[in-house]
Structure 1
Amino acid sequence: MIMSFTKWFLFFVFLMLMGTVQAQENLTGYWQPQFAVNYQVSGSYSHNFSIANRNYIVNDEEFTLKVRQLDLAHFSKLKMRDNQSIALGIQYRFRQNFEDGENELRLTQQYNITSKPHTIRFGHRLRTEQRITKALTTHRFRYRFALDFPLVGEKLDPGEPYFVGSFENLLSVAKSNAPQYDTRLSGQVGWQLNSGIKFQMGVEYRIEDYGSGLPQDILFLLTSAQLSL
């Protein structure tokens, strides 16, 4: 049943993305690889360090491969219960080094709660962010619903694949600017290579500023590796 659900979900995402690529002239495509390290300080407190590189693959209706930015991020997470946690994050985005645009400092506050009534785990995440540049500070409010489950059996064992899907809505507000509404849909397949290493790959589709007259369609190809110490 889970495998059937996954196939239909990925088929739906594929059709939606192909339709978007063919129908939209304002589509931008990126490839974003990421590497992250999780460090468990104690039973309830952990750190996460990550580096991500965003590269153009479709820009101005042309295929290309050009670096857009580099992100360095750190999160400190405190588990309050088995299924609830809070976290604080800081991120710096290097953009001026690669193209016209401002570097950015980002501060993040997060609350996460999960439930697992059966094989599928559900997650709800609330985030507030402050995106700080020289010109402007933007406050962003985010809600994400996610699910994940093993693709083989009812328990994830080393060497076996799993599926992760999410849907997220965002509201961005800044002084003298109109509010901006974004939405994101993603699906990824991952592998638990061993007890400490995970690898994921998939796609994410974003509609940015969909309340305006000219929303932006953005497609991401995502690859990531995660090491837990």
Structure 2
Amino acid sequence: MIMYFIKRILLVSLVLLMTSVSVKGQENLTGYWQPQFAVNYKVASAYSHNFSIANRNFLYENEDFTFRVKQLDFTHFSKLEIKDNQSIALGVMYRFYNSRENELRFTQQYNVTHKPFAIRFGHRFRAQQRITNSLTTHRFRYRFAMDFPLMGEKLDLGEPYFVGSFENLLSVAKQNSPEYDIRLVGQVGWELHGGMKLQIGVEYRMEDYTSNVPEHILFLLTSAQISL
């Protein structure tokens, strides 16, 4: 019963927060739809690979609804489990922009999780180098996440689960002022037969939130993931 109320409170709080933020920031709001497809497969018992492709499309820009492609991302991660609840990973991504310089990105990651009850908590630390022809930006990220089943204490095939996270980011580059961003994500997913997972949700970003005019961004997220 306690877990039931915790889950409902978390979900309602997230919905109210997203609604409040989108209303307050609608004069400086950009909206995207971002579908993603990913494949995971194990190379060894403690070593695995992840490949993904994501496409970002404008839905709302300059106080008007629209639809056009912004970018296409190809990403690879190699992950090594160093303990039952800890892992390190290296990633590389190439981003094709529709109307600006393409980007090469390298990622170094450390992740730790713990699950005292039905809720699993995770802490992820990332360092990234975002490289374009004109600029290299170093980004440092911390994400706190949680996930739990929405029906009962254990997740069974076909039943929904919730994933939520909060992330803080610092970006630094030569001749540029440091930029601070925050991200809030809430998604509902289903684990299906054959190692398939489907997720849908929303993400809110406030970019450069210490500036006089921070940018508000809202994403509709849809994803499919296969584990081989």
Change (3 A) 1:53 1:209: same
Provide the residue aligned with 2:28 in structure 1: 26
Point out where structure 1 has 5 or more consecutive residues left out of the alignment.
Answer: none
Contact 1:2 1:151 in 2 (8 A): no
2:193 is paired with a residue whose SS is coil
CA distance in 1, matches of 2:77, 2:71: 20
Equivalent residues in 2 for 1:94-173 (5 A)?
94-95=96-97, 98=98, 100-173=99-172
Provide the residue aligned with 1:10 in structure 2: 11
2:133 is paired with a residue whose SS is coil
Structure 1 residue 147: Cα displacement: 0.5
CA distance in 1, matches of 2:22, 2:120: 31
Q: Is 1:215 paired with 2:214? A: yes
Q: Is 1:180 paired with 2:182? A: no
Q: CA RMSD in A?
A: 1.1
Alignment-mate amino acid for residue 162 of structure 1: Y
Point out where structure 2 has 5 or more consecutive residues left out of the alignment.
Answer: none
Q: Which moved more, 1:102-111 or 1:11-20?
A: 11-20
1:212 is paired with a residue whose SS is coil
- Count of matched residue positions in the alignment of Structure 1 and Structure 2: 226
Alignment-mate amino acid for residue 101 of structure 2: E
Q: Is 1:228 paired with 2:227? A: yes
Structure 1 residue 171: Cα displacement: 0.2
1:16 is paired with a residue whose SS is helix
Provide the residue aligned with 2:61 in structure 1: 59
Q: Identity over aligned residues, as a percent?
A: 66
CA distance in 2, matches of 1:88, 1:41: 15
CA distance in 2, matches of 1:87, 1:34: 20
- Normalising by structure 2, report the TM-score: 0.96
1:41 is paired with a residue whose SS is strand
Structure 1 residue 23: Cα displacement: 2.7
CA distance in 2, matches of 1:204, 1:51: 18
Alignment-mate amino acid for residue 202 of structure 2: V
Structure 1 residue 13: Cα displacement: 2.6
Provide the residue aligned with 1:68 in structure 2: 70
Structure 1 residue 183: Cα displacement: 0.4
Q: Which moved more, 1:31-40 or 1:7-16?
A: 7-16
Contact 1:158 1:195 in 2 (8 A): no
